[in-house]
Each structure stands twice: as C-alpha cells, then as structure tokens.
Structure 1
Amino acid sequence: MKASPATIGLGVTMTIGYGTLYYSFSVLAPEIAREFGWGQSFVFGVFSFGLLAGAVAAPILGRLVDRFGARLILCLGSVTASVALALFAVMQNAWQFAVITLAAEFIALAVQYDAGFAALAQTHGREARAHITLVTLIAGFASTVYWPLLQWLLTWMDWRDVYLVLAAMNLLIALPIHLALPRARLSEKPVSRVEEVSAEITLDGERRRRMVLMATAFAAGGFVVSAVGATLLVLMRDLGYATAMATLAGSLIGPSQVTARLIEYARRNLFSPPLTAIIAAVAMALGLFMLAGALVQPTVTFAIAFAVFYGAGQGLTSIVRGVLPLHYFGVAGYGRTMGTLASTRIIASAIAPVSVIWLNETVGPHAAIAALAGMACIAVLATLALTRR
C-alpha cells in the first residue's frame, strides 16, 4: 500500500490528540497542583473521573460519526479541544479545573483513535487495515514527542501559556488536516436513523455474542494497558528491581510496540485480523507471566522478556481495536460499534490503576501481578472464543 497524504496527516492529528489531551496531563498536572496548593490525589482523581466521562461520550460519539461522518466529528473535535485547552489557561479555582477536565476528556475521543479509525473505515472500507496500522505507527510516538516537548516548553513559559500552545496545535495544525480529509465514500455513506433502528432489530444472536466477547477482550486488555502504564515502576520496585532496571524495562516497551507495528504493516496480509488479535492477546499475557517470574527471582532476563512480549502485544492491540470490529461487523454502523466497545474499555481502564495499586499496597505485588495476569488471560480466552467458528 502506498501511504496516502490523508493517512499520514491523520497520524499527525492523532499524535496531537493524544499528546495534548492525554500525555500532557502527567507533565502539567503537578505544575497546576503546585500553583494552587492542591494535592496530587485530587488532581489525578479528577483526571480519572474525566476518563470515565469518555465512557459516556463514546456511544454518543459513535452514533454521531455514523450519522454525520467521521470527518465532521474530527473537525468539531479539533475546535472544541482547542477551546477546552485554552480554558485551562484562564481557570482560577478547583471547580473550574474539574469542569474543564471533564469536558476535555469528554471531547478527547473525537480527536483520538475511535474517530480516526472510523474516518479510515468510511474512506477505505474493509481495506482500511493498512491505513489503521500506519496511523498507529505514527501516533505511537505521541508520548515520545510530547513529554520532552512539554518539559522544554516549561523552561520557556508557565503552564498556562503551554496550554495555549496546545490549543493552537489543535486549531492551527489538526483542524486544517481534518478539513482536508476525503469525505466518506458514497457506498459507505453515514448511517441514517432508519438504518440504525434496522441494525438494532437485526442484531442476531451471533452478532450479539461477538460484541460481548469483543467488548470483554478489549476491556480486559484495556485494564492491563492502563494499569501497567500507571503502576509498572512501583510494581517492579516492590518486586526487588532497582530503579534503573525498572526504568530500562519500561523504556523497552515503546520500541517493542513500534517493532510489532512495523512488522504488521509490512506483513499485514500474512495474518488475518482474528489471528493478529490472538497474537496480541497472547503476547501481552506472556509478558505478564514473565513479570510474574520475578516473584521467584527478580532477574534481568525476566524484566527484558516482559518488556519485549508485553510491548509487542500492546503495539498490536491498538491496531486490533480498529481492524477487528471492521472484520466482523463491516463498515455500516462502524462508529456506533466502536463507541459501544470503547465504553466498556474506558471504564475498565479508568478503574485499573487504583485497583492494582490497592492490591499492591494491601496484599502485595504478587496479588497485583496475579490480577494483571488474570485479566490478560481473560482477554486471551475471550479472543479465542470470538475467533472460534
């Protein structure tokens, strides 16, 4: 597949969407807390509630994508995201911070993968797999780009001005790219209300079974990804690893993700979407079993093996989120399907960090890792059941 400018552009806007509305929080939140004298628990607690707002937004957004087209939703998302980020720059108290954070996370899905994948599906139909892979390959560098960029900006300006820069990125870079995206193909036009009702009526037992299993697999995988991302350094420290070793393992996850996505992009016709989903789920589970091996002896081998297997599985999981619903359910109603699946995944992702940290503190790292491995196994079993003919 020849990489189209629209697909590359969408990869850039997804990078902006995740960088400005997700990864920015871990860098700017401490600055906000310090200025207002708030506790870190309050600031990150508000962010967790904001993520739950995304679970409410997902089904609504999905229906809007089907009815009006993903291109329009992406454009409106860029505008509203820029407004929300600009409001952070002028807020003055805790309730304003809470309201703006909830609004920003409610809007976020309109400029992140769910809307982006829908745009690709509406443009390329069932041939969107390669385009989805390329977008995740580009946007996978969001944290790599934005964390150092934000730290550098803070050496030149305060956090309020940084939020204005982030707002400008959405308005001046992402919005023009979204406006230039091709419209949905005529054969895959947005779904009308009559078609939505018809789709609901024809939701037969097999489709319902697949939806439940896919939602279960995505939610379990989302739980693992969210928890590992937030708690890995703490868990590895409590397992007996030095900070340097834990940091090295964490830093290897990113390159493993990119390598897996590159292989998927180059050899995308080698494996079907269901087989790719199985490989992703199994790789994540193997990684966590490697980490569990550190309960016996925290060796370098276990840490590196965990990073390689887990990183590869996580890298493929982002692709699977877009291509597996397309494979089983097609383009019609794709936005609504993605919204339904995203809702359960976001809820699981929001509760994962606090759940795993609570287990780690009250029972120990063995319980926390057992919970992660258990959720990874649920993802594997649900994926295997889904792909069974």
Structure 2
Amino acid sequence: MRFSPLTIGLGVTMTIGYGTLYYSFSVLAPEIAQEFGWGESFVFGIFSVGLLAGASVAAPLGRLADRFGARLVLSLGSLAAAAVLALLGLMQNAGHFILLALAGECIALAAQYEAGFAALAQIHGREARSHITLVTLIAGFASTIYWPLLQWLLTLITWREIYFLLAAMNLAIALPIHLLLPRVRHVQNEAVEAEDVEGGTPINGRRAIVLMAIAFAAGGFVLSAVGATLLVLLASLGYGATVATLAGSLIGPSQVAARLIGYLRRNLFSPPVTAVIAAVSMTLGLMLLFGGVLAGPMAIFVLSFALLYGAGQGLTSIARGVLPLHYFGAAGYGRRTGSLASVRIIVSALAPFTIIWLNEAWGAGAAIAAILAVALVSVAAILALVMTERPAKRPSISSPSGIASVLDNPAKSKS
C-alpha cells in the first residue's frame, strides 16, 4: 500500500505528542522536584491526578472529532500543548505546577493516538488499519528519541529551557502538519458502519465493549506505570544508569519491529489475535523483569524485558486503534474510542503514584509484582473478548460491501 505524506506526517506529530507531553515527564520530573524541594511521590502523584483529569475530556473530545473532524481537535491540541509546555518553563511554585500538570494531561488526548486514530478512521474508513500501523511505526520511536535527547539536553541547558524547546516543537512542526489534514464531515462515515459490521460482529456487543474497556484499562495501567516509573524502578533494583537507559531505549525499536511484522503479516493476524499477542508479550516481559528481583540486577533480565515488553506495547497501541473499528465500524469511532479512553485513563491515572508509593514503602519487587498482576488481568480480558466474536459471514463479491471486504483481506477471498 502507498501511504500519503500526511499519514507519515501524522506519525511525526504523534511522536512529538508523546515525547513532549508524556515521556518528558519521567526525565524532567526529578529535576523539578530537586529544584523546588518536593518529594518524588508528590510530583508523580500530581501526574496521576493529571491523568485522571484527562479522563473527563476524553469522551467530549471524541464527540468533537466525530462532529467537526479530528483535524480541528489535533490542531487545537498542538496549540494548547505549546502554551502549557511554555508555561511549565515559567512556573514558580507548587500551585503553578499542579494547574499546568492537570491541563497538560487533558490536552495530551488531543495530540496523541486517540485523536490521530480518529483522523485516520475518518479519512480512510476500512483501510485505516494499515495507516494506523504506519503511524504507530513512526511514533514508536518516541521513547527512543526523547529519553536520551532530554538527558543529553540536561547537560547543556536547564529543564526550563527544555520545556521552551518542547513547546516550539508542537508549534513549529506538529501544528502545520495537523492544519494540512483534510476536512472530513461526520456524515461521510455514516454509510461505512453498515459495511464494517456485516463481516464479523460480537455475539454480545455490550459484553464486547465491557471486555474491551477492561483490557484497555488494565493495559493502560501497565503502560502508564512502566512509562512513568521505569527508570526509578530500575534504579531501586540496583541497575546502573547506563543499563537502565539502554533498556528504555530498546523499547522503541522493539515496538517498531513488532508493528512492522504486524503490518507485513496483517492478513495472517486479525485485530483480536494481535491484541492477544500484545497482552501476552507484555506479561512475559514483566515476568522477566521480576526475575531481576529474585536473582539480582542482571542485565539479561532487564534487556530481555525491554524487547518483549516493547513488542507488546507496540502491538497494544495498534489494538487500541483497530479493535473498535473491527467490532463496531467507523461511524461513531471518535465517540466510542473516547468513552473507552475515559475508562482506560481513570485506571492509568492510578499507576504512577501507586507504583512509586509501593516502591518507596515496600520496594521495587512489590511495585513490579503489582504491574505484573494487572497485566494478567489484561490477558484474561482479551482472551474473553476473542470468545465473543462469531464467524464472519462470507461476503458476496457482487455487493459493494463484499467487494470492500475482499479488498480489505485478500487472504479470505481465497478460502
């Protein structure tokens, strides 16, 4: 498939969205805490509250994307992100930090995957899966780029100046790309849903959406916990800064490799199967990380964790975008994914503070065990979700929906 430059551009903006609004926190938060004399629990606690606040705007943003187009949401998100990041560079007290952290996590939803996937679903309909995969392939390098970049920048400039630079990235790079996205009216997607849900639907749509919400929420907790606290946990386990940074940097290439394989073999792995592989891979990675608790801080454990967990994380991002499309179609995609995101964010918001508290109170072993337990919940929910799907009806080649189904999955047309 040939991809438009705008799809590639959207991958770049998603990289900026995650790098500046999410991955930057784990690197810059300790610097902020040190300058103001705050405990790390306070800083990560505010981050958790910010994630929770973001849940309140997820569904409204989804409805806004459905009604006016995701282009508007993404463009406003870039503008607001630039403003909040610049103000973080100017903050002077805890009140400023609390207010800006809350605003930043609400704004993040308008500059990250939920809004980006909605744009792709509106533009490409049934073909959005391939475009979503390409976007996640590019954005998978966010941690690989931003963690080392920010640590290097801290040797040259202050954390305040870094925030100004991050604001400029959103304003000068992400915003122009978002403004170039085509305008897509909500009514253009209304006819798509009837086609999409003919191929294969859940036996019980309500049960499917509940299981999807549980799986996404548990997976979100794991992603939030690891993304925000990994470097802290590895330091508590006794890993050196070099090994910890290497492990963090391996996650990006690993998730990109998994996404690339997922794209090249997309006809062999349906969205539900991809979701199962993602959840199991992350869980196995966390089991290996826990091995470092039992046997000591050996590099083989943390590096193997990074590879497996990174692969699972990469496929999880794709599953989050394509599962609702697979089960329910493109119409109302923004509203539906916004509602799922609300549940996921509420649970994810508990992760950074909970894991840091467990680390401080009971040690890194307890913190990692908690993450592993939640990952097992995600595996169970995904497996149950797969059981809700009934076999797809064989499409008729003579009908428009049948032609679309065959074109979307040529492997099935040969069966």
| Residue matched to 1:200 | none
Q: Distance in 2 between matches of 1:212 and 1:13?
A: 31
Q: Distance in 2 between matches of 1:236 and 1:277?
A: 27
Distance 1:146 1:383, change over 3 A: same
Comparing 19-28 and 170-179, the one that deviates more:
19-28
Comparing 223-232 and 3-12, the one that deviates more:
223-232
1:287 shift after superposition: 2.1
Distance 1:9 1:190, change over 3 A: farther
* Secondary structure of the corresponding residue to residue 111 of structure 1: coil
| Residue matched to 1:130 | 130
The alignment status of 1:218 with 2:234, answered yes or no, reads no
The alignment status of 1:86 with 2:98, answered yes or no, reads no
RMSD (CA atoms): 2.9
* Structure 1: gaps (5+ residues): 196-203
Q: Distance in 1 between matches of 2:9 and 2:98?
A: 32
Q: Distance in 2 between matches of 1:137 and 1:326?
A: 19
Distance 1:76 1:266, change over 3 A: same
| Residue matched to 2:271 | 273
1:163 shift after superposition: 2.6
* Structure 2: gaps (5+ residues): 194-201, 390-415
Distance 1:300 1:158, change over 3 A: closer
1:376 shift after superposition: 1.7
The alignment status of 1:352 with 2:380, answered yes or no, reads no
| Residue matched to 2:310 | 311
The alignment status of 1:207 with 2:205, answered yes or no, reads yes
Contact 1:224–1:352 (CA under 8 A) maintained in structure 2? yes
1:295 shift after superposition: 5.4
Matches within 5 A, 1:188-207: 188-189=188-189, 206-207=204-205
Comparing 13-22 and 88-97, the one that deviates more:
88-97
Q: Distance in 1 between matches of 2:234 and 2:92?
A: 38
**For residue 215 of structure 2, what is the amino acid of its counterpart?**
A
Contact 2:45–2:353 (CA under 8 A) maintained in structure 1? no
1:179 shift after superposition: 0.9
**For residue 338 of structure 2, what is the amino acid of its counterpart?**
G
Contact 1:118–1:334 (CA under 8 A) maintained in structure 2? yes
**For residue 29 of structure 2, what is the amino acid of its counterpart?**
A
| Residue matched to 2:287 | 289
| Residue matched to 1:184 | 184
* Secondary structure of the corresponding residue to residue 205 of structure 2: helix
Matches within 5 A, 1:1-389: 1-155=1-155, 157-184=157-184, 188-189=188-189, 206-232=204-230, 235=233, 248-294=246-292, 296-298=294-296, 302-363=301-362, 367-388=366-387, 389=389
TM-score scaled by structure 1? Answer: 0.86
Distance 1:283 1:64, change over 3 A: same
* Secondary structure of the corresponding residue to residue 110 of structure 1: coil
Number of paired residues? 378
**For residue 118 of structure 2, what is the amino acid of its counterpart?**
A
Comparing 110-119 and 291-300, the one that deviates more:
291-300
* Secondary structure of the corresponding residue to residue 182 of structure 2: coil
1:65 shift after superposition: 1.0
Q: Distance in 1 between matches of 2:357 and 2:31?
A: 26
Q: Distance in 2 between matches of 1:266 and 1:368?
A: 36
Q: Distance in 2 between matches of 1:41 and 1:96?
A: 17
| Residue matched to 1:198 | none
**For residue 259 of structure 2, what is the amino acid of its counterpart?**
R
Q: Distance in 1 between matches of 2:50 and 2:145?
A: 23
Distance 1:89 1:289, change over 3 A: closer
1:55 shift after superposition: 1.2
1:174 shift after superposition: 1.2
| Residue matched to 2:198 | none
1:69 shift after superposition: 0.9
* Secondary structure of the corresponding residue to residue 349 of structure 1: helix
1:321 shift after superposition: 0.8
Distance 1:238 1:177, change over 3 A: closer
Q: Distance in 2 between matches of 1:297 and 1:164?
A: 43
Aligned identity (percent) is 69
Contact 2:189–2:330 (CA under 8 A) maintained in structure 1? no
**For residue 160 of structure 2, what is the amino acid of its counterpart?**
R
1:84 shift after superposition: 1.8
Q: Distance in 1 between matches of 2:223 and 2:107?
A: 22
